Amino acid sequence: AGTAADTEMTTEIISSNLELHSLSTGRLPRVATANRMLKQMLFRYQGYIGAALVLGGVDCTGPHLYSIYPHGSTDKLPYVTMGSGSLAAMAVFEDRYRPDMEEEDA
């Protein structure tokens, strides 16, 4: 969500920074590292970058799902919706999501 140009540029910058991080440490970055980089970048611009993002991934500590807002705040949640269809999607999640779901049920 947000403006397409801001979202694209933000993800390209963070992707490059994560690649540099990986090359300098010799390890794959954790999802929390990507979250921190995004938070810090967006907070620095105080909402003037119109990028609202969903960040998800699996690393050595397990699965992670974050919503990241243009001012740099984040939420770590079991499910996330964002964008024009988010209200309808959230209604489905709230009605049907269970923490112990099997992959087939999901």
CATH number at residue 60: 3.60.20.10
Question: Does 90 reside within a domain?
Answer: no
What integer is the mean pLDDT of 49-72? 97
Question: Does 95 reside within a domain?
Answer: no
Spell out the SS3 assignment of 15-83: HHHHHHHHHHHCCCCCHHHHHHHHHHHHHHCCCCCCECEEEEEEECCEEEEEEECCCCCEEECCCCCCC
Question: Does 87 reside within a domain?
Answer: no
What is the span of the domain harbouring residue 16?
4-79
pLDDT of residue 68 exceeding 90, the answer is: yes
Is 10:51 a contact under the CB 8 Å cutoff?
yes
Task: Give the count of domains, the chain.
Answer: 1
CA distance 103 to 23: 34
Question: Does 50 reside within a domain?
Answer: yes
Question: Does 89 reside within a domain?
Answer: no
CA angle 77, 27, 51 (to 5 degrees): 40
Question: Does 105 reside within a domain?
Answer: no
Output the pLDDT for position 2: 64
The pTM of the full predicted model, rounded to 2 decimals, is: 0.89
DSSP secondary-structure letter at 88? H
Question: Does 98 reside within a domain?
Answer: no
